[in-house]
Amino acid sequence: MKNKRGLSEVVTTLVLVLLVIVAIGVIWMIIANFIFSKGDEINLSSIEVKMSINSIKADPSNPNNVIIRIERSMGGNIEGTNVILFNGVNSHTERIVSLNEGEEKDFSVSKGDLGIIKKVSVRHTHTPFKNYNWESKKETLSQY
């Protein structure tokens, strides 16, 4: 009779261990399903910035400046905007204030000593997040 009692304690322990393993598996399946289903909803639209140049004209109040109308249609947080003017040989970059999402503004930008401008680009500036590879991030640059 003593041997049977010892055997039932082993069986009870094995059953409890199996129940714990099954419970852990069920909980993991629920958590994994939640994590992986939400992962599909994460995209780069929260950090991707789209800006466009809508017009460029001479500044009537200052012949060494041009007025550039810039629109920011979407994007995450940005620190500011660089306007890059190019005359075919040299370039001049001027930093302007940041635009809010959905905002369109005119900016008077100095041409520096470039003379005739052949190309204008805008690029947002930001403070990189720690351990984030910004070089691999998709950026939408606008050129005119």
Higher pLDDT among residues 57 and 43, named by residue: 57
Q: What is the DSSP secondary-structure string of 75-128?
A: -S--SEEEEEEE-SS-EEEEEEPPPPTT-EEEEEEE-TT--S--EEEEEEE-PP
For residues 115 and 125, is the Cβ–Cβ distance under 8 A?
Answer: no
Q: Which of 90, 85, 87, 88 is nearest to 110 (CA)?
A: 85
Q: Which of 18-27, 37-46, 129-138 has the highest mean pLDDT?
A: 18-27
Which pLDDT belongs to residue 4? Answer: 59
What is the per-residue pLDDT across 97-139, written as a single tens digit (0 to 9) for each? Answer: 777 778 888 888 888 888 888 888 887 776 554 444 445 444 4
Higher pLDDT, 114 or 46: 114
pLDDT of residue 22: 95
pLDDT at 18: 96
**How many angstroms separate the CA atoms of 88 and 103, rounded?**
30
**How much is the pLDDT for 141?**
46
pLDDT at residue number 68: 87
Which region among 36-40, 53-57, 112-116, 132-136 has the lowest average model confidence (pLDDT)? 132-136
Q: Which two tokens stand for residue 133?
A: 């590879």
pTM, two decimal places:
0.53
Instruction: Please give the distance of CA 114 from its chain centroid, rounded to a whole number.
Output: 33
